[in-house]
Amino acid sequence: MSKKVLIIEDDKNIAELLRLYLEKDGFTVTIADNGATGVAEFSEFEPNLVLIDIMLPILDGWGVCKEIRATSNVPIIMITAKSETIDKVTGLEMGADDYIVKPFEVGELMARVHAVMRRFEVSDGSSNRRLTFDNMIIDMDSFELLINGNRVDAPPKEMELLFHLASSPNRVFTRNQLLDEVWGFDYFGDSRTVDVHVKRLREKLDKVSDKWTLKTVWGVGYKFETIT
């Protein structure tokens, strides 16, 4: 069965161009031309990936992202005409996995689509996809983060970042290493992306345990520190 992509974009030319390239690549595609319809289509269509324009009528892309993240961890790529850092950071803080700024090359966007979906898919038979620490379980087979036995919502990229850090306790990773190893070599972002995701994880993991912590190593990067 082909993977499904929902495009939420009010520019018909861009939406149809994306549909053409995605369908040529084997995806099944549905388009919504405003945010409210996009949220409704998400529930009906159950896509494997969502492309969301930020400047949408009725409900903007940030609102759509928030609505989707309330119920799902499906990968989201934001498409925006805004290039300011604050707009990119806002999208990431609301749970988007990636962003791309208009005008863009379709080849670049398709590379992002494949990169995000590769990172989200969990290979069958992968070993040690479940990590257990004091008061926390990171389960990559079900993409669940359990804190004190309760499921905590975490988008796929947050899960992947936490799993990657926690898989090598006390090892320091630079921001560039994390971009390469978690986002993939074909990611087009910058180190600010890592900072945003670490910040969101810290908010969710605050005071969960005194036996481990997400620690900043100033001037270098981050590590998952275990305390004995």
125 part of a folded domain: no
Q: Are 104 and 195 found together in one domain? A: no
Tell me the CATH number at 37: 3.40.50.2300
pTM of this structure: 0.63
DSSP secondary structure code for residue 180 in this structure: I
Report the DSSP pairing between strands 212-217 and 49-53: unpaired
* pLDDT (0 to 100) of residue 155: 84
Q: Choose among 170, 167, 162: nearest CA to 211.
A: 170
- Of 76, 94, 120, the one marking the end of a domain is 120
Calpha distance 57→196 (Å, rounded): 27
pLDDT, tens only, 196-221: 999 999 999 999 999 999 999 998 99
Whether residue 110 contacts residue 99, with contact meaning beta carbons closer than 8 Å, is answered with no
Residue 218 falls inside a structural domain: yes
The whole-number pLDDT of residue 123 equals 40
pLDDT attached to residue 124 = 38
Q: Which residues of the chain have pLDDT under 70?
A: 1, 82-89, 91, 119, 121-128, 184-190, 228
User: What pLDDT shows up at residue 156?
Assistant: 82
Of the residues 93, 120, 147, the one at which a domain ends: 120
Residues 99, 59: one domain? Answer: yes
| CB of 165 closer than 8 Å to CB of 223 | yes
State the alpha helices, DSSP H only, in the chain.
12-24, 35-45, 61-69, 85-93, 106-120, 156-166, 175-178, 192-205
Q: Is residue 42 part of a domain?
A: yes
Residues 137 and 207 in one domain: yes
Q: What is the pLDDT of residues 8-20, one digit of tens each?
A: 999 999 999 999 9
Range of the domain at 194: 130-226
At residue 83, the pLDDT reads: 62
- The domain spanning residue 170 has which CATH number? 1.10.10.10
| Domain termination site, one of 91, 120, 149 | 120
Q: Using CA atoms in the order 200, 116, 108, 26, what is the torsion angle rounded to 10 degrees?
A: -150
